[in-house]
Structure 1
C-alpha cells in the first residue's frame, strides 16, 4: 500500500472514530435526559395521587408540569428511536432485496427524513416564538418553555440522521437522494396551480401516492405522514407551516397519552421484577400435565400480562423467554410457537389498559372507562376460540410426562405468583374507585411492582432499570411522533372536506349497519397490516365514527370492531409490524412462521365476525 493510500485510510478511520464518539456522546446525553424525564413523570403523577386521595390537598401545578415534560419526553424519545432504528416502519421491501438495492433504499429513506425535518425546523422556531407570548397558568412561565421541546427535538433528529448517514458511509448517497427529492419538489411546485385547480383530487397525489410510496420504501410512518402533510399545505394552500407544528403539539400533548410511556415502562418492569416469571411458573404448574397445556399457559399468560402493561411488544417479550424453552423441549415447532404468540397478542389488544384503547378514546371522545369495561369480553371470546383450536390440535400430540397435577407445586407457585396476579386488579380497582385517572393509575402499578419486587421477588436486577427507561423513551417517542404527525395529516384531510365526502360515500353504501361493519372489518384488517395500528386508528376512526352513528351503531361496539380488526391485521403477514416483532422475539425466520399463521388467523377472524355481529359482546358491561 502506498503512503498516500495509507494516509487516506488512516484519515478515514480517524473520521469514523470521531463520528462514533460524537454519536455515542450525544446518545448518552439524550438517553440520560429521557430516562430522567420518565422518573420525573412517575414521581410527579404519583405524588399528585397521594396528595389528592390521601392528603386531600391537590398539587395544582403537577399535571401542568407533567404535561410540559411529556412533550419533551416525546421528542427526545423520537430522537432515540431514530438513532436505534426503532421508528415504526414497513421493512418488507428492504428485507427482500439485494444488498445494493438496500443501500439505495436506506439513502432515500434518510433523505426523506432529512427533508421532513428541514421543512419542520423553521415552523417549529416560529411556533416557539408565538408561544412566548402565552403563559402557563399554574406554573406562571412562558408557554415557549414547554414547546421548545419540539424545536430541540427537530434539531436533535436532524443531527441524528446526519450522523447516521455519515457513520453508515451513506452521506454522499443521501445527498444524491436529497438532490433527487429537491428535483421532485421543484416539479410539484411547477404544477402547483394545476394541483389547486383539480380540487380534492390532489389528495390522491399527496396522501395516497406520496404516503404510499414513502411507506413502501421503508420511510418511518411518522415521517411519511409529515412529508405528505407539509407538501400538501405548502403547495396547495396558504396555511402557515406553523399550523403543522401546532397539530404536532396538540397530538403529542394530550393528557391521556401520558399513560403510554408509563404503561410501557410498567410492561418492561414486569419482566425486570420477576412478575412474568412467577405468573408463568404458576400457570405451567397448573396446566403442565394437560395435553398441549403450555399452549393454554401462553394464552392465559398473555391475557394476564396484557392487563398490566398495555404494550403488545412488552407482553410478548415478557412471556416468550419464560415459556419457549420448555415448549421446545416438549416438541413444539418454532414456527407454531411464534404464530400462536403473535395471534395471542392480537387477541389481547382490547384488554385494559390497552395503549390502543387509550389512543382511540383520546381522538374520538369515547369514555376510556367504557372502552376498558368493553374490552374484556371480546378478548376472552377470542381466547376461547384460540383455546378450542389448540384443543383440537393437541389431540394429536403425545401426552406429557406429568400425568396428574402436583398440588404441592401448584400451591407453592400460586402463593409466589399471587402478588403479580393481583397487579391487574389493583390497577382496575384504582380506576373504578376513583383513586387515580387512567393516566395516573400506571404510576400506582409501577410503585406496586417496585415494592413487591424489593420485598418479595428478590434479588432486584437494578442494572436492568436504566435500559428499561431508555427503551421506554424510544418506544414512546416512536409512537408519539406518529400520533403527532397523524394528527396533522387528519387535520389537513378534514380541512380539505375529505371527511365529509367520505361520510357521504360510506352512508350511501347499501347493506345497512351490518354491511358497513363488514366494510369496516375489511378496511381495518388491511390498514392494520400496512399502516400499523395506531396510525390507522388516528386517521380513520374519527372519520368513520360519525358514519357509524348514522347507522345506529353503538360507539363502543364500533370501537371494539375497529381495534380487533386493526390488531389482527397488525400481527398478520406479509406486512404486519407486529408479526415481525413476534418473529424477532422468538428468533425464528418469517418463512417458518407464515405457514403456521393461517389457522390461527382464521380463528381470530371468525371471532371478530362474532364481535361485529353481536353488539352485546362489547356493550354488556357498560353502565
Structure 2
C-alpha cells in the first residue's frame, strides 16, 4: 500500500501529472490491490465528498471575482491606492502590496491578482528603478496575500474539510492578512530608501477624493460581504450570491464597463475554474477516505503522542512540513489531502482548529511564490516576461518576510482569534 498511496502518486507529481489524476490513480490502484470493498464505492465516495453545503460558496466567489475583473475594478483600486500612498518612500512598491491586498478581498484568487497588478504596475516599478529581480519578486509575493484575506477559497475548503465555521475562518484571516501586508510594505519602504528609489508623487487631497468616489463601489463590496457574514445576516454561500449580483450591477450599470457578453464570458471562466477545484475535492475525498480506513491518521496521532511534543514544537514541525509541501502542491490540493490527516493531531495537542486553519493557510500562501513550483512564479513569468531564475532570486527576500510574519501568526493565536469571539 505504500507504493500505491505514496511512491506512485509522488512519482506522478514529479513528472507533472495533474493533481486529481495522481490522487485518483493512487486510490484506484489501492482499491484494486488491497481493499475488499467493491469498486462501486469509488464514485459514491467521490460524489459524497462534494455533498457539502459550504462548497456552494466557491462558484459564487469565483464568479464575483471574474465579474469584478471584467469590469476593470482592479485598475480603479490601483489608482485609488496610488492616490492614498502619496509621498511615502517606495510609494509605487507599497501600492503594489496595497492593491494586491484589496483585489484579494474581492477575488480571492492569487494568480489573477498577480496578473492584474503585474500588468498595471510592473512597468512603473522598472521605470522607477526597482529592477526586474525586485519588481518581479514583489509582484509574485504580494499576490499570495490573497490566500489569507477573506473571502478566501482556501479557507472555504479548509472549513469544509475540517468541519469548522467558515465565517469564523474569514474573520480570523483579517488581522493576519493585514499583518503580512504591513510587513511587506515596511520591507519595501526600507529597500526603497536603501536603493534611493524616487517617490512616485505627492498626496493630493482633491485627487484622492476623486479617485475614492470612483473606487467606492469596488471598496464597498468586501466590506459588504464580510459585514453580512460577521453580523449573521447571511451565510458565506448567500453572501457570495449577493456579491455576484452586486458585481454585475456595478460593472454593467455603475461603471458601464462590461457588456452582457462579457458577463457570459466571466461565467464560463468561473465554471471552468470551479470544475478544476471540485474535481480535486472529489478525488481528495476518495484518497483521504482510503488513508482513514487504513489507519494512517490514528497511527500518526499515536506516534505524535509517543513523542510528547509541546504545542509550540508541534506547530514548528507542522510549519516546516507545510512550507516544504507548499513548494510542490497548490493550496487547494494540499488543504484537501492534509487536513483530514492533521486534524486529529491538532486536537490531540490542544491547538484551536480555527487558529490552525489560519496557520495552514499562511504556510500554503508562501508556497504560492516559492521555488520550484509556486504558481505565482509561472504566472509572473508569463505576464511580465521575466526569466524564471530572476523571479526565483527576487522572491527570496519576500519569502523571509512572510515566514517571519508566519511565526508571529503561529505563536500569537489571539491575532487570529480575537475577532472571532463575538461570532
TM class, shorter-length: over 0.9
Instruction: Give, in angstroms, the shift of residue 272 of structure 1.
Output: 1.1
Instruction: Give, in angstroms, the shift of residue 460 of structure 1.
Output: 2.5
1:357 equivalenced with 2:155 (yes/no) = yes
1:218 equivalenced with 2:16 (yes/no) = yes
Alignment of 1:144-155 (within 5 A): none
Instruction: Give, in angstroms, the shift of residue 445 of structure 1.
Output: 1.1
**RMSD across aligned positions (CA):** 1.8
Contact 1:258 1:439 in 2 (8 A): yes
Partner of 1:534: 332
Partner of 2:48: 250
1:273 equivalenced with 2:75 (yes/no) = no
How far apart, in 2, do the equivalents of 1:321 and 1:465 lie? 22
Alignment of 1:332-343 (within 5 A): 332-343=130-141
Structure number with the bigger relative contact order (C-alpha 8 A, sep ≥ 6) is 2
How far apart, in 2, do the equivalents of 1:494 and 1:459 lie? 50
Instruction: Give, in angstroms, the shift of residue 349 of structure 1.
Output: 1.6
Q: Deviations over 1:155-202 (max 9, x none)?
A: xxxxxxxxxxxxxxxxxxxxxxxxxxxxxxxxxxxxxxxxxxxxxxx2
Aligned pair partner of 2:406 in 602, 605, 608: 608
Task: Assess, with a 3 A threshold, how the Cα gap between structure 1 residues 437 and 401 changes in structure 2: closer, same or farther.
Answer: closer
Partner of 1:524: 322
Contact 2:126 2:132 in 1 (8 A): yes
Contact 2:172 2:419 in 1 (8 A): yes
1:445 equivalenced with 2:243 (yes/no) = yes
Contact 2:164 2:353 in 1 (8 A): yes
The SS at the match of 2:217 is helix
Partner of 1:298: 96
How far apart, in 1, do the equivalents of 2:195 and 2:324 lie? 35
Task: Assess, with a 3 A threshold, how the Cα gap between structure 1 residues 443 and 517 changes in structure 2: closer, same or farther.
Answer: same
Task: Assess, with a 3 A threshold, how the Cα gap between structure 1 residues 291 and 246 changes in structure 2: closer, same or farther.
Answer: same
Q: How many residues align?
A: 421
Task: Assess, with a 3 A threshold, how the Cα gap between structure 1 residues 330 and 596 changes in structure 2: closer, same or farther.
Answer: same
Instruction: Give, in angstroms, the shift of residue 290 of structure 1.
Output: 2.7
Alignment of 1:453-602 (within 5 A): 453-602=251-400
Partner of 2:35: 237
How far apart, in 2, do the equivalents of 1:324 and 1:316 lie? 10
Aligned pair partner of 1:619 in 392, 417, 421: 417
Give structure 1 stretches of 5+ with no counterpart. Answer: 1-201
How far apart, in 2, do the equivalents of 1:562 and 1:294 lie? 30
How far apart, in 1, do the equivalents of 2:154 and 2:317 lie? 21
Q: Deviations over 1:466-485 (max 9, x none)?
A: 33222212221111111110
Instruction: Give, in angstroms, the shift of residue 251 of structure 1.
Output: 1.9
Instruction: Give, in angstroms, the shift of residue 547 of structure 1.
Output: 1.4
Q: Deviations over 1:527-579 (max 9, x none)?
A: 22212212211122222122122212111111111111122123211122333
Instruction: Give, in angstroms, the shift of residue 403 of structure 1.
Output: 5.3
Alignment TM-score, normalising by the size of structure 1:
0.65
1:408 equivalenced with 2:206 (yes/no) = yes
Q: Deviations over 1:223-278 (max 9, x none)?
A: 10001100001111121112111121122332211222221121122221122111
Q: Deviations over 1:124-178 (max 9, x none)?
A: xxxxxxxxxxxxxxxxxxxxxxxxxxxxxxxxxxxxxxxxxxxxxxxxxxxxxxx
Task: Assess, with a 3 A threshold, how the Cα gap between structure 1 residues 335 and 247 changes in structure 2: closer, same or farther.
Answer: farther
Task: Assess, with a 3 A threshold, how the Cα gap between structure 1 residues 518 and 272 changes in structure 2: closer, same or farther.
Answer: same
Instruction: Give, in angstroms, the shift of residue 442 of structure 1.
Output: 1.4
Contact 1:270 1:318 in 2 (8 A): no
Instruction: Give, in angstroms, the shift of residue 341 of structure 1.
Output: 2.1
Contact 1:290 1:399 in 2 (8 A): no
Alignment TM-score, normalising by the size of structure 2:
0.94
Contact 1:431 1:438 in 2 (8 A): yes
How far apart, in 2, do the equivalents of 1:488 and 1:231 lie? 12
Task: Assess, with a 3 A threshold, how the Cα gap between structure 1 residues 404 and 311 changes in structure 2: closer, same or farther.
Answer: closer
